[in-house]
Amino acid sequence: MPKFTVTKTITIQASPEKVYAIISDYHHWPAWSPWLITEPGVNVVVKSGGKEYTWEGKRTGSGEMKVLNEGAPHRLDMVVNFLKPWKSTSPVWFDLKPQGGGTEVTWGMTGNLPFFLFFMTKMMTAYLGMDYQRGLLMLKDYIETGSVPSKLTFKGIQPYAGCTYIGIKNNCTMDTLSGKMSDDFAKLSAWAAQHAGDVAGPGFSIYHTWDVVKNKVAYTSAFPVKQVPGQLPAEFISGLIPAMNVNTIAHTGTYAHLSNAWTTQYMMQRNKEYKYRKGIDPFEVYANMPGQVPDEHLVTEIHFPVAG
């Protein structure tokens, strides 16, 4: 069977002993699991003194995870048995190393796919790597602050009125996206401040391409306008998002955890919880912006077009 290995690393400002105590007790996992956040109604049962848990859900499938060997505070070995969507067994481990006043945490897994899905190995490695990175970011907040500033509100299918917009279209890699988008919105916000009467709502970003395997992103950052002005700066473009139904998830919290909402939307789409409308790209609308409110109170609505 095709095999793959995923490892991700983060530095947490806490002792190895504190980090180890959290990750080795499954009672803590619902607070920072990158999968459980995507499905609030998933059935989770923690047993055996916090060393074993089972889960069963519609989006997350079902399975069980157990602690196999404890080498506190530097090594923790587990095994995960997936029952749905297909059966497989994979070793999972954590390596903890003192790093200055904190701990370098590496989370890894070796998995396998059914032989007929061999062509998905690179994709599975990339997407699971994103899950692990999301989980480590939440674990870091959970250990350092006691909570994770990431809340999902499922608004369901609702009408979107559509809009005409002016924006900046760009291409970048995932690790440069934040900086590129910040630069784009600085230019757009400066224009909006001088043309406040033309702006018709909060800023948003459309994602045209999100290629995890090739690490490529194509997006447009924009403001809706009442009508497109006669003259625009050279790098600005104009466009239209049509009126339609959308499936909406609102994310409250820092942008570092915004991928929790996007991942959930993709999971809902793959699970056929709604019929995706092809030909229109998904987009996120910023109900408020950094600097207006504390980062943990930022609200971003993720909209996926719905057919019908």
Secondary element (H or E) of residue 139: helix 121-145
Within 13 A of 303's CA, how many CA atoms are on the CB side? 24
How does pLDDT run across 216-254, given as a tens digit for each residue? 999 999 999 999 988 899 999 999 999 999 999 999 999
Sheet holding 299-306, edge to edge: 150-160, 244-253, 299-306, 283-286, 204-211, 216-225, 163-172, 237-241
Torsion on CA atoms 34, 286, 217, 121, rounded to nearest 10? 20
Q: Coil, helix or strand for 260?
A: helix
How does pLDDT run across 45-70, given as a tens digit for each residue? 999 899 999 999 999 999 999 999 99
DSSP 8-state class, residue 32: H
Domains of the chain from N-terminus onward: 3-147 (3.30.530.20), 155-306 (3.20.80.10)
How does pLDDT run across 148-186, given as a tens digit for each residue? 999 999 999 999 999 999 999 999 999 999 999 999 999
Residue 173: partners with Cβ closer than 8 Å, 6 or more residues away: 215, 216, 217
